[in-house]
Structure 1
Amino acid sequence: MRSLVGLITVVAAASLYLYSLSLYLPAGPRKRSVRSAETGHVSKEQQQQPGDSLEEEEPSRLKFPSDLEELRELAELLQFYKTEHTGYVLLLFCSAYLYKQSFAIPGSSFLNILAGAIFGPYQGLLLACALTTVGSTMCFLLSQVFGKHYIVNLFPDKVSTLQRKVEENQDCLFFFLLFLRFFPMTPNWFLNMSAPIVNIPITFFFCSVFIGLLPYNFICVQTGVMLSEVSSLDDLFSWERLLQLLAIACMALLPGALIRRFSQKRLKLGIQSQNGLDKKVQ
């Protein structure tokens, strides 16, 4: 009971901090729009008739984009915030990312794409990898302090299976952890929470997250960079963009291919056979 109260206290404090931080969001740029004084709709003809139209300024707002036009507006707004309020944007982004990662909340792909759109390919990738690693480690520590009993009770079979695999691969545990990140036999959020329960050293865990999720972060960040620069569907399906996507895919798949080749020789992984029993691959 004490561990549950402690976890709730940590979640509440982090939520209050993030909410308080969002309250101080600086005002964004104001965009001009021309509205008809009678209908409220905008058209080229109305823009050419100053007597029938009313020019207004509307504040730009942060919202999830539903098409390419909104995506471009979001990218421009974020670039404005980055230029005018660099420190605040960095603090808010890092805080939101660590909050999501620490409490195993889905949405890392969108935040990684956002990192590419705001900070560019190199800074965005470095930031995404660092925040993913630190946030996952915080989830590891929260589970170690507060969540062991609850995780074992909620997922007894999964914890038991992971424990057995970790014991079978003790001689090459780090490469086994990399394999789990490249080819997730179990979700990343569950691996983050169950790692301290199955006695995975925190140093191995930290390094395996940084290296193992690098291809995933790379793809998401590069996608964000590309989408923020796209102005039409023709740009998205141009030969230049397609070649960029091909290069990104090849670079992301290479580490996984190397780990998979190593796993066939060294790691002990269970493969489901036709009779339902596990076979060992040495």
Structure 2
Amino acid sequence: MSAKNNTPLAKGSRLKRLLPLLILLLGLAAVYAMGWHRYLSFGILQENRENLIGFVQGQKVIAALAFLALYALAVAFSIPGGSFLTIAGGFMFGTWLGGLYAVMAATVGSTLVFLAAKTAFGGILRQKASGYLQKMESGFKENELSYLLVLRLVPLFPFWLVNLVPAFVGMSLRNYVIGTFFGIIPGTFVYASVGNGLDALFRSGETPDLGIILRPEILLPIMGLALLSLVPVLYKKYCKEKQA
């Protein structure tokens, strides 16, 4: 069995599975090696705000496509700075368009990570899953959309980690895309609205408050949405207990 797994064909198959994830990891390494991650700062945005505004006003379609591509790649390469990019989107395109572009790009980038991780490790982890991990996988699959919505709505874990875990437990692509798209909408538009008023902050010499999402007047409604997402899970559990 082990000899069969070490044949050139088997090694080639493993490399093919790992290739998408390797590309994303190499992309992340290249970004840090070239120092491009340093451009994701409010200082750089402030220095170039007039050029950016002029670019958006003169080339709306190209500017939107460039922002979508940059944001999607940043998420795919797991580069920290999603909140900054969302604020930048609100600054350049306004709350509604900037928020929409950010949601679309983040969903695309997250899906690329999900597919890469699922291709590389999903099958292996499911084969080796046993005990508690197996129970967790079956529980997640049964209510995967509700669980992902909660993870997206409430920032309990890093965004990159939430991109990976569903791939490891065998979540369907359809539910992953739906849960990601709708789950990130509230937080994204909060940050986009901050970006919409960013120019006034720059003029007054202030910087945006990235902790705004944790303010009670914002966090409590989002947590309310998260609880609503768990209603199907609680209802299923209630029906099972009633039948028992």
Aligning the two structures, in what range does the TM-score lie when normalised by the shorter sequence?
Answer: 0.5 to 0.7
Closer, same or farther in 2 for the Cα pair 1:178/1:145, shift >3 Å? same
Match of 1:218 among 163, 169, 189: 189
The unaligned stretches of length 5 or more in structure 1 are 17-21, 23-61, 237-244, 269-282
Compare relative contact order (CA 8 Å, sep 6+) and give the higher one, 1 or 2: 2
- In structure 1, C-alpha distance between the alignment counterparts of 2:153 and 2:87, rounded to whole Å: 19
1:22-171 aligned at under 5 Å gives the runs 64-66=41-43, 72-148=46-122, 164-168=135-139, 170-171=141-142
Contact 1:115 1:224 in 2 (8 A): yes
- Identify the range of structure 1 (108-117 vs 83-92) with the bigger mean alpha-carbon deviation: 83-92
Scaled by the length of structure 1, what TM-score is found?
0.59
Scaled by the length of structure 2, what TM-score is found?
0.67
Is the counterpart of residue 175 in structure 1 residue 189 in structure 2? no
- In structure 2, C-alpha distance between the alignment counterparts of 1:258 and 1:205, rounded to whole Å: 18
1:190 shift after superposition? 1.8
Contact 2:21 2:117 in 1 (8 A): no
- In structure 2, C-alpha distance between the alignment counterparts of 1:96 and 1:13, rounded to whole Å: 13
- Identify the range of structure 1 (181-190 vs 129-138) with the bigger mean alpha-carbon deviation: 181-190
Is the counterpart of residue 232 in structure 1 residue 204 in structure 2? yes
| One-letter identity of the residue aligned with 1:145 | T
Higher strand fraction: Structure 1 or Structure 2?
Answer: 1
RMSD: 4.0
1:214 shift after superposition? 1.2
Aligned pair count reads 208
Structure index of larger Rg: 1
Closer, same or farther in 2 for the Cα pair 1:262/1:135, shift >3 Å? closer
Closer, same or farther in 2 for the Cα pair 1:100/1:147, shift >3 Å? farther
1:96 shift after superposition? 1.5
- In structure 1, C-alpha distance between the alignment counterparts of 2:68 and 2:165, rounded to whole Å: 24
- In structure 1, C-alpha distance between the alignment counterparts of 2:54 and 2:21, rounded to whole Å: 37
- 1:8 matched residue in structure 2: 22
- In structure 2, C-alpha distance between the alignment counterparts of 1:7 and 1:170, rounded to whole Å: 23
1:202-213 aligned at under 5 Å gives the runs 202-213=173-184
Closer, same or farther in 2 for the Cα pair 1:163/1:86, shift >3 Å? farther
Higher helix fraction: Structure 1 or Structure 2?
Answer: 2
Contact 1:172 1:267 in 2 (8 A): no
Taking only the aligned residue pairs, the percentage that are identical comes to 25
1:84 shift after superposition? 2.7
Contact 1:128 1:217 in 2 (8 A): yes
